[in-house]
Amino acid sequence: MNLITQLGITPYDEQEGEEYMCENQLSHFRNYLIAWKNLLLNTSELTAGQIQHDATTIPDANDRASYESNLGFLLKRNGRERKLVTRIDKSISAIENNTYGFCKSCQADIGLKRLEARPVANECIDCKSLAEDAEKI
């Protein structure tokens, strides 16, 4: 299932002749980003609750070991989620500043399709692939 369906958001229905990043599009992506952020924050709260469970109260050594490896996994996931929340916040401020939807490197339109799949994208597909090629070298 893709992200937008998971969040229960209706994909944007573009009208003919509509201007790119018009008010309707911006409010669509604002709702989308806020829903995603809320989902991540709710999951993080759950994670924090699981982490608070004290490992020293687990009597069996094997159970304790598997608990601790789970904990490592949860903490790693938590770190990734925090980074994502930061990117979501940046995208929301970009909406407020009217810079949302445009490539940070070449200022081209990122495109509705790409943003629907990845609403925190801040580069067009061309610049993104260039950056990835550079990373490989």
- Contact set with Zn ion (CB under 5 A): 103, 105-106, 108, 124, 127
To Zn ion, the closest distance from the beta carbon of 18 in angstroms equals 22
- Cite the beta strand spans of the chain per DSSP E: none
Q: Between 48 and 106, name the residue whose CB sits nearer to Zn ion.
A: 106
Radius of gyration of the chain (CA): 19
Q: Between 71 and 130, name the residue whose CB sits nearer to Zn ion.
A: 130
Neighbouring residues of 9: CB distance < 8 A, sequence distance ≥ 6: 31, 32, 35
Task: Please tell me what DSSP assigns to residue 99.
Answer: -
- What letter represents residue 24's amino acid? N
Q: Between 51 and 127, name the residue whose CB sits nearer to Zn ion.
A: 127
> Residue 26 and residue 8: Cα distance in Å, rounded?
18
> Residue 103 and residue 119: Cα distance in Å, rounded?
13
Q: Between 24 and 105, name the residue whose CB sits nearer to Zn ion.
A: 105
